[in-house]
Structure 1
Amino acid sequence: MRIGFDISQTGKAKAGCGYFAASLIQKLVEESDNNHYLLYSAFGNTFWDSEHAKSTIRFSQKNCTHLLDNLSHHDSLAFWSVSTSIDEDKLGNPDIVHANNFSCPRLTSSRLVYTLYDLSFIDYPEYTSEENRWNCFNGVFDAAMQADLIIAISEYSRQRFLEIFPNFPIERTRVVYLGSRFTDTDSEKPIASLEPHNFWLSVGTLEPRKNLRRTLRAYKQYLDLHSDSKPLVLAGGQGWLEEDLEQFINHLELSKHIIRLGYVDDPTLKWLYKNCWAFIYPSIYEGFGLPVLEAISLGTAVLTSDTTSLPEVGGNAVLYVDPSSEADILAGFIKLDDDKFREILKTNSQTQASKFSWRKAAKEVMQAYTDVLNMPPR
């Protein structure tokens, strides 16, 4: 097979979509060298990385060809935004194009496989920007009309998609779970100012969907009730609609208890997961919940939400709370003070994490590629 693959978000400061694409293509190339991979560093008309030619994931294997590296932003928009079908010669005439960044190109000969992450922009429009909501909705709507096959990253996302687009053929959908990118042999980078096992950890892009403000209010109540000096560490890049977060922290008089690290590299993140007291992730809405899987794969005690896709990931290895309830999040903080309970979670975590892997995901995606080529085009 000639497989065209969107790597556009695998560059600098990547988040969920970028980690999915990078981890999946690495394992696909590693596991199936009888295919040829056409890798697009510029993809679609909504996302742009000005350094895409060098920042996106790179392969030197003979069965990998990097394409579109020379496109400027103007040229990329002109190429991907045509009202007729894309020039597939410039894509290397693939059998399949796998779209990974919400954009959905119009193809003629190639089959289109589309990664569906979540539908939070429909279910919680107030938690994103107008521009992002527009881009995401247009991409998913076009996929509902044009995609030959949808790969959802959770059963929750697949079912939600089929509820919103009930005429999409269910047989053209698949669920492929993500894996953790961390292994025991990966390097770690300690943070000298943090005492191991003496800090709470929150990881994620700073945006309202992550429920950070309710978490901070619950943490404030926890500090008021307990003489606990463990700080809450926030690791994650700036998103949208949280520009005044610092003022919010100051208003709660939490400044001396909050450590903001911003975006951190993988060795630092691995050390944070392994050395935190517990990982706090009561997100309002997730398509999968990769930070939860990453945390449990490293034996971390986790608090997360009992909603959307998160129970699919956490199984019986995490502490669930109602993300809409400060009282429930507060109760979670208190429960995680119990060493015995926390150790039970840590023991269960790696058993649950072993159910997920990028090797398994790559095998299932490759089967999806085979299936879609055996289906009539839509």
Structure 2
Amino acid sequence: MSILIDLSMLRHPWCGLGQVALNYGRWYGAHTAGLTPGHEVTLLVPRGFAGHFGAHVHYLEAHDCYRAMPWLMPRFDLWHSIHQLSPFRPSVRSTLRLLTVHDVNFMYEKPEAKRRRYLRRLQHECDRSALVCFISRFAMEDALRYLHVDAPMQVVYNGVEQLTEGVQRMPQGVDAGRPFLLSLGVLKAKKNVHTLLPMMKCLPQYDLLIAGDDSDPYADRIRREAGCCGNVRVLGPVDEAGRRWLYAHCQALLFPSLYEGFGLPVVEAMQWGKPVFCSRQTALPEIGGDAACYFDSFEPRHMASQVLRTLREHTPGRSRELQSYAARFSYDRHMTQYQELYRRLLDGGVGGSLS
């Protein structure tokens, strides 16, 4: 039975979905021999990526002609779109489709005309799918506020890349002699990073390093306000080696985001055994569970007191507990769940809810 995994987002390897596609490719490069017998997997990749994950992997290059004329695409028994807005489609309607929905951020971030267009497109994708998966229960519940899904639905938590292995490099702008707290993620208003700056005035013994894409206008606000704090530095984007160094050397991750379909930095920081402080909004309590610490208020003194108390009580044993918790989100576990779903779809065993 032939299975296609759509990794076309590799064309944007440094965005979140591009990283998901990259980790899928790496996993298949390492595990092709261990796939379900009788299943032949092909990776749909951008031009130039054929062979990227090893010569033993099957590839199909995502030529532009396949977007305009999908009937030119080879036929497959099962097609997995690992995100909801891929421009590529199976060549025939008889192909079983598995769709993974990450979020409906566009409903909160885009102008009305784009919201309508994206929603119509996503509804169409759901209508064509034999199974719709979501990256968290929150993501599913939020999407169902706008979508009608007749197909069976399943929550499959994101896999999280194991960051504790690999090269580390200190980013520019870091004072290595000062202990620091870390805020990591795209600087957008929903990330709520501005609430951390007044808090840092109550924590003069620590620096706050803010790392991540800073192209949104919200980042300008953060830079202006950080200029009034002597212990806050906005680093901007960092590469993988820089991200590893920051996690390895920080005292804790601060993640007060107001909207997350999953919240990758929460699990990434726990891989290093670091305390995580986040909001109680959207998917964060679901992903952080009892392992994370939650801000009950964004009042600066309250936040600072909670951070100090937790850091004083943190022990090597607690670090090991956090690392054990983070292991629940391994890519091996994630991909094993999908392999089972592929098997059940191809065996015709899907009916009703799979949850």
* TM-score, length basis structure 2: 0.83
Cα distance, 1:56–1:231 mapped onto 2, change above 3 Å: farther
Superposed, which structure 2 residues align to 1:191-206 within 5 Å? 191=171, 193-195=174-176, 198-206=179-187
Question: In structure 2, how many angstroms separate the alpha carbons of the residues matched to 1:346 and 1:372?
Answer: 39
What is the CA–CA distance in structure 2 between the aligned matches of 1:298 and 1:17, rounded to whole Å? 23
Does structure 2 conserve the Cα–Cα contact (< 8 Å) formed by 1:299 and 1:347? yes
The alpha-carbon deviation at position 58 of structure 1 amounts to 2.0
SS of equivalent to 1:299:
coil
Structure 2 counterpart SS, 1:336: helix
| Alignment partner, residue 60 of structure 1 | 54
In the alignment of these two chains, the number of paired residues is 341
Distance 1:132 1:277 in 2: 41
The answer as to 2:166 corresponding to 1:186 is yes
Aligned partner of 1:9 in structure 2 is 9
Unaligned runs of 5+ in 2: none
1:111 matches 2:96: yes
CA deviation vs aligned residue, 1:344-367 (integer Å, no higher than 9, x gap): 753431121122210011110111
Q: Which residue of 2 aligns with 1:326?
A: 298
Tell whether 2:84 aligns with 1:80.
no
Is contact 1:128-1:208 (8 Å) kept?
Answer: no
Classify 1:285/1:255 alpha carbon distance in 2 versus 1 (closer, same or farther; 3 Å).
same
Which residue of structure 2 lines up, in the alignment, with residue 360 of structure 1? 333
Q: Percent identity over the alignment?
A: 23
The whole-number CA distance in structure 1 between the counterparts of 2:110 and 2:246 is: 27
Contact 1:11 1:56 in 2 (8 A): no
TM-score w.r.t. structure 1 length? 0.79
Q: How far apart are 1:238 and its partner, in Å? A: 3.6
Displacement of 1:57 after TM fit? Answer: 8.7
Using the TM superposition, give the Cα deviation of residue 204 of structure 1 relative to its aligned residue in structure 2, in angstroms.
Answer: 0.9
103-112 or 14-23, larger mean C-alpha shift: 103-112
Q: Match for 2:206 among 219, 230, 234? A: 230
Distance 2:288 2:166 in 1: 23
Structure 2 residue aligned with 1:102: 84
Match of 2:157 in 1: 177
- The equivalent residue for 1:22 is 22
The one-letter code of the counterpart of 1:219 is: L
Change (3 A) 1:56 1:161: farther
Amino acid at match of 1:335: Q
What residue number does 1:36 align with? 40
Say which SS state the counterpart of residue 261 (structure 1) adopts: strand
Distance 1:236 1:80, change over 3 A: same
Q: Deviations over 1:234-274 (max 9, x none)?
A: 211245xx325324532564364332222222121111011
Letter in 2 for 1:99: S
Q: Which runs of 5+ in 1 are unaligned?
A: 42-51
Question: In 2, distance between residues paired with 1:210 and 1:247?
Answer: 13
1:296 aligns with 2:283: no
